Amino acid sequence: MLEVKNLSVKTDKFFILREVSFTSKRGRIKVILGESGAGKSTLGFLLAGILKPGLQWNGEVILNGERINPFEDGWRGRRAGIVLQDPYSSFDPRKKVLASVAEPLIYTLGMRKKEALKRAEEWLRKVEFPGKAMKKYPHQLSGGLLQRAAIASALALEPVILVADEPTSALDPPLRAEIREVIKKFSQGRFLLYITHFVEDALFFGEDFLVLYGGMVMEEGPEFLHPYSKLLLFSRVKRGSELPEIQGFSPHPSSMPPGCPFHPRCPLASSSCLKSPPERRVKNNILRCWHVP
């Protein structure tokens, strides 16, 4: 069991994440969903052991009953891996792909070069990366192929937790579908945190959702019950229909409205929304809203 309790991330002036709590079971995919600026990537990066300079964090990360500090040696890479949004940013442009995938095995796991290259090649083949492309440079490959290599690079270290941060957003729809399949296949037996703002990606995995807005958890569970979650669901683009949208804009972390952060855009908003909604259990979901019966 992976447990995150009261996790907050802030600058000197404002909070980016506020008291985020959730649980995830091994082998079950946790989809972290929300608009840009919701704090999704900050959450994923922190759990992978990455925090931008100037940010401070507080809270608990517990893995199988053991309290974890994601910034201690031995966590990033060995126990938690990450697949980034832009695959080109994952590779050194001066090195061939096979060498780049092998490099963390040498420096993180202490493998000999020959052994590391062998394992790197095995994982590249597992994700159906073409053999002829292994000795090419990143700029010679498509985004889809390079994202396969990025997945292989993260998995070669055999992490327990895999964070996929918007891994399909830089790809066209057919390639997005392929990458989703690859990630789903190799998430078995791991804790997978899949971050996205694409509702189609969320529904593809469709097991367990964590919906963030304004750095807060609006809803956690297998259904869409919160007004914000439902608006995200209805905002999917459908052929032959008007382009749907959620009215208004997400607030900047430095200027959060009082109470529920979504209330200025919520069609159900009332005066009670000016107070912070309590955390409640509705069906199989845990959510924060005054209006969900």
DSSP output for 195-214: EES-HHHHHHH-SEEEEEET
**pLDDT tens digits for range 221-254:** 999 999 999 999 887 656 655 656 788 888 898 8
Secondary structure of residue 220 in the 3-state scheme: strand
**Angstrom distance (rounded) from CA 87 to CA 214:** 27
**pLDDT tens digits for range 19-55:** 999 999 998 899 999 998 899 999 999 999 999 999 9
**pLDDT tens digits for range 161-196:** 999 999 998 888 888 899 999 999 988 889 999 999
Q: In the sheet that 208-213 helps form, which strands lie side by side, from edge to edge?
A: 80-83, 161-165, 191-196, 29-33, 208-213, 216-221, 285-288, 279-282
Give the domains, in start order, of the chain with CATH numbers.
Answer: 1-72+191-237+244-293 (3.40.50.300)
CB atoms within 10 A of CB 266: 21
Tell me the whole-structure pTM to 2 decimals.
0.93
DSSP assignment of 224-236, as one string?
Answer: --SHHHHHHHHT-
Q: In the sheet that 56-63 helps form, which strands lie side by side, from edge to edge?
A: 15-24, 2-10, 56-63, 66-68
Secondary structure of residue 76 in the 3-state scheme: strand
Of 164, 152, 108, the closest CA to residue 126 belongs to 152
